[in-house]
């Protein structure tokens, strides 16, 4: 399991480099409930693995210039190997989130969202880039099925910066033939029906129906949607972008929501942070 | 026509800003025949339009450090708005061309090949990026057909940095459903047969057969290949990646080779250079 492996790696680092620990900063502006929940899961995973994680919380009144200046100081802090900005920014001020994301030093960008990292991933220069956590987790789940990706027809629904677009890149550079679908795609059921591997990050509850899915396909569902459900505590339940009960009958492998992609995403953030620390240590020792 | 429009724009610049001219540098290492030919076409187009183009030639003995230091000085030269490094580098020294490409300042990268520009294009942040010239020219040719791209099924063959990968991005962010095929694609004829818009940058002479092409498709051929032909002066002829005589019978529109994509690529380099100069002028006047 990924977390177990990372824990062992961090212990190895601590042994070899006198108590060294990888450092992660999670920068949050504001106080969104969903962000709070995701951040708590990241901090918990970091603690389990032995990563030194700090949660930097800024008030809703923070300006863009203030956010940028804090990012610069974290970029310069030698004990921090990974810096992520929790999105969306919950600010009362106008903040350009593209500018904020790109202010993170590429070698600390463990979310893989800077233009430099996106450019490397999209062009197949994967040697020193960071792969965004959700697509990286999806690839790990696909690898765990034992299905080889090269030469397969993969279909990605969605083209967001954190899921669809980098997922396309990863599948392509693992040598799949990749089709990207989105809100303007006309014949979505037909496109889905051609997929040996289907990755869905559309943000619409249960939009992919089981009847569309190719018999024996691998189906990875990145959706997290809330449907009203009076039988549940809280009055709602969480579903993915795929209609699980029907798709499960045709897919050879399908990830559940919750419990599939989500935990793997958190694990991959830890993986990138540990990788970033290793890169630094190797640079130091090669001098 | 693109060149005519750019010529007028440069005249307008000269009028408004007292003899100002956009500046372009073409940096060449070595002396490849094909590079010499391409560079001469770029210099000729620049001269026609009124762009001040300089050809910087370095000997084959040039080292990577020397190339990088020359790029830095051109980055800092205020009269240069566009800098391209002619690839492939023809050097006797080991030169990392990824490192060289990325040394060009992103705001002068009129070839659009830096990771920063690739990252912006691949994620749809097109506001201030430069689009690589060949895909940009292909889009211009598609626009000229009058066929709308949004919602169409586009197929791209090839995933190179200068053709296939950025072409995918451009078609995607113009809202096509896009499939990328490459050497590992298993059922190429079937994939090609689904394309309303087909762009080929595979580098293999006449590999796409007319029978594969969908009736009424738009076919853009980026290939430049040489086939032996004793009936021609020089003993060879230039063909594309598409078998033109057969594909022409099914396509609604098809670009010839030579004479299709090539001249448009040169025009787009000029377009990017003029655009870069405008960006600078606007920044100056907005101060």
Alpha carbons within 13 A on the beta-carbon side of A148: 4
Predicted model pTM: 0.96
Residues A221, A240: Cα–Cα separation, whole Å: 6
Q: What percent of chain B has pLDDT over 70?
A: 100
Residues in chain A: 287
Residues B259, B231: Cα–Cα separation, whole Å: 20
Q: Which residue of B has its CA nearest to A98?
A: B125
The answer to whether residue B80 scores a pLDDT higher than 70 is yes
Question: CA torsion A157→A111→B124→B83, rounded to 10°?
Answer: -140
| B206 interfaces chain A, CB cutoff of 8 Å | no
Residue whose structure tokens are 């009736």: B215
Strand-strand pairing, A177-181 and A153-157: parallel
| B118 interfaces chain A, CB cutoff of 8 Å | yes
Q: Which residue of B has its CA nearest to A154?
A: B179
The alpha carbon of residue A283 is apart from the nearest alpha carbon of chain B, in Å, by 18
How high is the ipTM of this complex? 0.95
Q: Which domains does chain A have, with CATH numbers?
A: 2-105 (3.40.50.10860), 133-263 (3.40.50.720)
CA distances A48 to A35, A57, A265, A283, Å, are 20, 22, 16, 26
What pLDDT, in 10s, does the model give residues B24-49? Answer: 999 999 999 999 999 999 999 999 99
| A189 interfaces chain B, CB cutoff of 8 Å | no
Interface contacts (A, B; CB < 8 Å): 100
Tell me whether residues B116 and A117 touch, CB distance under 8 A: no
By three-state DSSP, how is residue B113 classified?
A: coil
Tokens linked to A117: 């990292």
The answer to whether residue A287 scores a pLDDT higher than 70 is no
Q: What is the 8-class DSSP label of residue A146?
A: T
The H-or-E segment that residue A23 falls in is strand A23-29
The alpha carbon of residue B180 is apart from the nearest alpha carbon of chain A, in Å, by 5
CB A221 within 8 A of CB A254: yes
CA distances A236 to A202, A231, B96, B193, Å, are 20, 8, 55, 45
User: Where does A104-257 have alpha helices with state H?
Assistant: 115-122, 133-145, 164-173, 188-193, 244-247
Q: What percent of chain A has pLDDT over 70?
A: 100
The arithmetic mean of pLDDT across residues B207-233, rounded, is 96
- Within 10 A of A115 (CB to CB), how many other CB atoms are there? 26
The residue from B7, B12, B42, B152 that is catalytic is B42
Query: What pairs with residue B29 in β-bridges?
Result: B58
| A128 interfaces chain B, CB cutoff of 8 Å | no
The answer to whether residue B118 scores a pLDDT higher than 80 is yes
Tokens linked to A8: 């062992």
Query: What pairs with residue B52 in β-bridges?
Result: B23
Q: Is A152 a catalytic residue?
A: no
The arithmetic mean of pLDDT across residues A111-119, rounded, is 98
């Amino acid at each position: 399991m990924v977390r177990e492996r990372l824990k062992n790696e961090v212990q190895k680092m601590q042994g070899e480099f006198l108590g060294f620990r990888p450092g992660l900063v999670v920068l949050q502006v504001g106080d969104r409930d969903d962000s709070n929940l995701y951040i708590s899961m990241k901090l918990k995973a970091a603690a389990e693995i032995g990563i030194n994680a700090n949660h930097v919380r800024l008030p809703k009144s923070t300006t863009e210039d203030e956010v940028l200046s804090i990012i610069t100081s974290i970029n310069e802090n030698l004990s921090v190997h990974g810096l992520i900005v929790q999105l969306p920014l919950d600010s009362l001020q106008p903040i350009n989130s593209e500018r904020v994301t790109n202010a993170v030093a590429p070698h600390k960008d463990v979310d893989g969202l800077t233009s430099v990292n996106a450019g490397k991933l999209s062009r197949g220069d994967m040697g020193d880039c960071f792969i965004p956590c959700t697509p990286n987790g999806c690839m790990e789940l696909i690898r765990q099925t034992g299905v080889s990706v090269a030469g397969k027809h993969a279909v990605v629904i969605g083209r967001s910066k954190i899921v669809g677009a980098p997922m396309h890149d990863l599948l392509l550079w693992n040598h799949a033939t990749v089709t990207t679908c989105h809100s303007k795609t006309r014949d979505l059921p037909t496109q889905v029906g051609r997929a040996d591997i289907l990755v869905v990050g559309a943000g619409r509850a249960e939009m992919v129906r089981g009847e569309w899915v190719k018999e024996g396909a691998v189906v990875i569902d990145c959706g997290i949607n809330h449907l009203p459900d009076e039988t549940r505590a809280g009055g709602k339940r969480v579903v993915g972008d795929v209609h699980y009960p029907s798709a499960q009958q045709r897919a050879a492998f399908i990830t559940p929501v919750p419990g599939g992609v989500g935990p793997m995403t958190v694990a991959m953030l830890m993986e990138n942070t540990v990788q970033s620390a290793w890169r630094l240590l190797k640079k130091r020792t090669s001098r």
